[in-house]
């Protein structure tokens, strides 16, 4: 999925990608910006947030309220929640809070995955909730690399969502 929409620096936005019945859709602040047929069978692999899996192409900005679900939460336009996301039976990963300045990232989903921080990624004051992650674009990311079957969606439905701000 792609979009020609440019997001403004230093402004929070909500990004969501959701697949339902073989169609993936990308939403920016709740507005659908692209969709495509998607029957790809996604297999589990190490999960990296903040960069490409090798640590390159690093994010320069902030992210918070990261949730991965094994259900299509959004199939049409919606109003993004400004409340802290909560865990439910469809949540596979949920990262919503942390202590300012620390590098401890806790998955609040029932699976309670252990995430490993790399580089200088750390918590700072958030848009929503109790913390957001700061990435400087040079090797900052966090990774979950064992027992990744929670992220093996095959050809089924899923949603990946978060709030972001780019520098």
> What is the tens place of the pLDDT at every residue in 20-79?
999 999 999 999 999 999 988 887 777 888 888 777 888 899 898 899 999 999 999 999
The closest of 103, 7, 2 to 61, measured between CA atoms, is 7
Tokens coding 18: 């959701």
CB 48 within 8 A of CB 141: yes
Spatial neighbors of 161 by CB under 8 A, at least 6 apart, are 14, 15, 16, 17, 18, 65, 66, 67, 69, 73, 74
For the entire predicted model, the pTM comes to 0.89
> What is the tens place of the pLDDT at every residue in 74-124?
999 999 988 889 999 999 999 887 777 778 788 899 988 888 888 888 887
């Amino acid at each position: 999925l792609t979009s020609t929409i440019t997001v403004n620096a230093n402004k929070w936005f909500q990004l969501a990608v959701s697949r339902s019945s073989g169609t993936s859709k990308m939403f920016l602040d709740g507005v659908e910006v692209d969709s495509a047929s998607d029957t790809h069978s996604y297999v589990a692999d190490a999960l990296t947030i903040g960069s490409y899996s090798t640590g390159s192409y690093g994010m320069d900005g902030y992210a918070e309220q990261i949730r991965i679900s094994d259900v299509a939460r959004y199939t049409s336009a919606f109003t993004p929640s400004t409340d802290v996301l909560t865990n439910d039976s469809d949540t596979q990963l949920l990262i919503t809070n942390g202590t300012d300045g620390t590098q401890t990232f806790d998955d609040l989903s029932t699976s309670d995955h252990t995430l490993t921080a790399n580089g200088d990624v750390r918590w700072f004051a958030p848009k929503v909730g109790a913390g957001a992650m700061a990435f400087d674009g040079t090797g900052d990311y966090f990774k979950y690399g064992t027992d990744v079957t929670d992220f093996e969606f095959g050809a089924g439905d899923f949603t990946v969502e978060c709030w972001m701000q780019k520098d």
